[in-house]
Chains A and B, each alone.
Chain A
C-alpha cells in the first residue's frame, strides 16, 4: 500500500470528530486529506525514513479506549517541590492536577482565544507533524502558570505498547512568572507518540524548559512539535535530549513576537543501531533586539542517522538581532550518517548572526592522554562522551538526574 492509501485508511479509522477539540480535529483531518503524506520531494522531509514515519498511521490510535491501559514503567519518585502530571491518553490529563498556588486550568474562553494560534503563526506549509496530532488528539492539557507559582512542573508522557498516542498541551505563562518545566517522553515496544505543545510566554517571564525524550524499547517512534511564542523581555531556555527512538522528529519553533527577548537552545541527539533522529528548529524574530544562542549537538554511532535543520528568520523589522547557531557533531562509525544544515534568512541589515557546523570523531589525542594515565579504554571513552554531552546536559535542573539518562547515553553508545 502506498503512503497516501495508508493515510486515507488511517483517517477513515479515526473515531468521529467530537469534544472540545472537534474544530482542531477537523483542521488536521482536512489537511491530511488534502496533502496526504510527504515524500522525499518535500524539502522538510527529504531525509526522513518514510517506513518508520508510516508506523504513526499503522498502529491503532488510542482515543477513549478503556481496553487499553497504560501500564506505567518505573517512574522515579517525584520531587517535593515539583508538581507532576502523568499524561494518560485515555483520560482528561487535567484531572490529575491538584490545584496549587500559581497553577490553574484555562477556562473555555481562554482556550478558544489561544489554542492553535501559536503553531499556526509558525507558517509551516503542509505541516504534517501538526496535522497528524490535530487529527487524532482528543484531550487537552491547558494550564495557566501565574506569577505567584512557587513550584516547578514536571510532565511525563509514557507510551503504550502496540499503540499510538497523541497529546496536546497548551501552557500560558503569565506576565512576571518564573517556571522550571521538565518534560519526559518515554517510549515503549512498538509504539508511537505525537505531541503538540504550545507555550505562550508573556513579558518578563523566565521559563527554563528541560525535555528528556527517551525511546527505551524496540520500534518506538516520537514526533514532537513545540511552538513557543515569546513576548518582550522574556527569557526562554530549552534543553533537550533525544535518544533511543527508532524514529524521532523534534520541531521546536520559537517566535519572538516583539523581539527584545532572549532565547537559549541547547539540544543533544544521540543515535545508535539503525535509528533516525531529526531536529528541525525554526526561530523567528518579529521585532528588534532579539537574542538567540543555539547549540545543537549530535552523536551518531553504528548505522544510525542524525539530522539537524536549523532555520533562523530575521525580517526587516528585526534590526539589532543577535543570533548565534552552532551545530557540533560526533560521528562514531563509518556507517553512521549526519546531515546538518543551517538555514539563515536575514533581511534586516543591522544584525549580528553567526552559524557554524562541525563534524568530528572522538579525538585520538584526548583518548591517549587518558590512557597514558592508566584509565582503560572503555572508561576513557565514557569520560570523553560524558565530556561531550556535558555542554547540553549540565544545564538540566538537578531533578532531571533521577531519570538516569546520562548513564544510558553513555552505556548505549560505548558498548
Chain B
C-alpha cells in the first residue's frame, strides 16, 4: 500500500519528554506515511507507552524539546480532544473503566465529535445504533456490551475489542495501538488483529506497540522499530521482529554497547 507519493501523516523529530520530572524520551525520530504499518518493540520501560501518551497529549507528560507534526501541522499545542478529532487515535494498553457511563452513549458522543470535524452530519441515537451494529461485526463483539458501562466488568479481551470498535467508529488517520495484544488469548488475538487489518486503509496508518512477534504474525508491519532508553535505536522490516523473538533483547544490548564503543 506504500507508494513514493504517500503523504506523511506523522513526523516526530528529536522528541524529548518527561513524566513526573523523570525524562523518558531522549530524542525519538519517526516518520509514518499513509498506508504504512509500523511496529515499535522494546523492553518494559524503554519509552514505548510514553511515546504513545505524548502523541495523544496526556497532560501528565511534558515535551521538553523536539516536535510532532500531524499532516504538516504542529500538534504539541493541541489539547488531547483536538488531536483525537483531527484523527489521532490511541488504543489504550489498559482501557479505563468508567462506571455509570453508558458505553453506547460514550461511543456516540465520541463518534459525533469526530464526524463534526470531518464535516459529516451528527448521528442521532437511531442512526448511531445502525452504524455501531455494523461496526461491531469487525470485532465480533456482542451488542450486549453496548448497554453496559464503559469497559466496566469487561474481560481483558472485551476491553481490547471495545478499543478496536472505537477505532472502527472514529476512522482515524493514525492509530497508535499500545499493547493491544496483551492479555488476549489466541482466538481473541486473531479477532482483534483481523479487525485492525480490516481497518487499515490506503489513506491511514497504524503504529503497533508490542512485546511479542505473535501479533506481527497476524498483522504484517512495513517497518519494525526497536526502542531502548527513550530512543528508536534500530529500524528494519518484519524480519527484525523475528530476529528479536529468536535472540531476545540481548542483541540490542550488544548493539548498544557496540555503539557506545564506537563513540
Contact surface of A with B, Cβ cutoff 8 Å: 363-366, 368-377, 379-380, 383-384, 386-391, 394
CA distance A383 to B150 in the complex (A): 11
With contacts A368-B80, A371-B81, A374-B114 taken as known, whether A383 is within 8 angstroms of B99 at the C-beta atoms is: no
CA distance A10 to B80 in the complex (A): 58
Contact A371 B98 (CB under 8 A): no
Contact B101 A374 (CB under 8 A): no
B149 CB → nearest A CB, Å: 7
Contact B170 A374 (CB under 8 A): yes
Q: Which one of B58, B59, B110 contacts A375 once the chains associate, using CB atoms below 8 Å? A: B110
Q: Is B48 an interface residue (CB 8 A)?
A: no
Contact A372 B84 (CB under 8 A): yes
The residues of B that contact A380 with a CB separation of less than 8 Å are 81
With contacts A369-B92, A373-B166, A373-B170 taken as known, whether A387 is within 8 angstroms of B81 at the C-beta atoms is: no
For B112, the closest partner residue in chain A by CB is: A374
CA distance A369 to B152 in the complex (A): 14
The residues of A that contact B59 with a CB separation of less than 8 Å are 364, 368
Chain B residues 62 to 92 lying within 8 A of chain A, measured CB to CB, are 79-81, 83-85, 90, 92
Max count, chain A CB within 10 A of own CB: residue among B79, B100, B117: B100
CA distance A373 to B172 in the complex (A): 10
Q: Which one of B56, B60, B113, B114 contacts A376 once the chains associate, using CB atoms below 8 Å? A: B113
CA distance A371 to B85 in the complex (A): 10
Chain B residues 94 to 108 lying within 8 A of chain A, measured CB to CB, are 95-96, 98-101, 105-106
Please name 15 pairs of A and B residues whose Cβ atoms are closer than 8 Å in the assembled complex, sorted by A.
A363-B96, A369-B92, A370-B106, A371-B81, A371-B84, A372-B57, A372-B80, A372-B92, A373-B84, A373-B106, A377-B81, A379-B109, A386-B101, A390-B99, A390-B100
CA distance A394 to B148 in the complex (A): 13
Contact A371 B79 (CB under 8 A): yes
Residue tally, chain B, CB below 8 Å to A: 30
Q: Which one of B96, B106, B166 contacts A365 once the chains associate, using CB atoms below 8 Å? A: B96
Chain B residues 145 to 193 lying within 8 A of chain A, measured CB to CB, are 149-150, 166, 170
For B82, the closest partner residue in chain A by CB is: A374
CA distance A254 to B260 in the complex (A): 75
The residues of A that contact B79 with a CB separation of less than 8 Å are 371, 377
Q: Which one of B60, B92, B95, B101 contacts A387 once the chains associate, using CB atoms below 8 Å? A: B101
CA distance A250 to B170 in the complex (A): 46
Contact A375 B96 (CB under 8 A): no
Contact B109 A375 (CB under 8 A): yes
CA distance A364 to B58 in the complex (A): 10
Contact B113 A373 (CB under 8 A): yes
CA distance A374 to B105 in the complex (A): 14
CA distance A379 to B90 in the complex (A): 20
Extra inter-chain contacts (19) besides given A366-B96, A373-B113, CB under 8 Å? A369-B92, A371-B81, A371-B84, A372-B56, A372-B80, A372-B84, A373-B106, A374-B113, A375-B106, A375-B110, A375-B113, A379-B109, A383-B101, A383-B105, A383-B106, A383-B109, A386-B100, A388-B100, A390-B101
The residues of A that contact B81 with a CB separation of less than 8 Å are 371-377, 380
Contact A387 B170 (CB under 8 A): no
CA distance A372 to B86 in the complex (A): 11
The residues of A that contact B80 with a CB separation of less than 8 Å are 368, 371-372
Contact B85 A374 (CB under 8 A): yes
Contact A372 B85 (CB under 8 A): no
